[in-house]
Amino acid sequence: MEYKIIISIFGVILSIIGYGMYVRDILKRKTIPHTFTFLIWSIASSTTWALQVHGGAGVGA
């Protein structure tokens, strides 16, 4: 298996764990996110992904 695929899988796993802990804390009412938090994260992540794909990032995107 190519190292880029392994690193990508590892990154996805870390993201799922991080978001999972954040969502868990929101549901337990330990954390109260700002109204625009997810909107800003979505826009920033989508823009970054689109630019990477446009630049030919491949699996790393």
| pLDDT single digits (tens) 8-51 | 889 889 989 998 999 999 999 999 888 888 889 889 989 998 99
Cβ contact 4:61 at 8 Å: no
Quote the CA–CA distance of 52 and 8 in Å, as a whole number: 14
Domain spans of the chain? 3-60
pLDDT(61) > 70: no
| pLDDT single digits (tens) 2-18 | 888 888 889 889 989 99
Q: Where are the alpha helices (DSSP H) in 1-61?
A: 3-27, 37-54
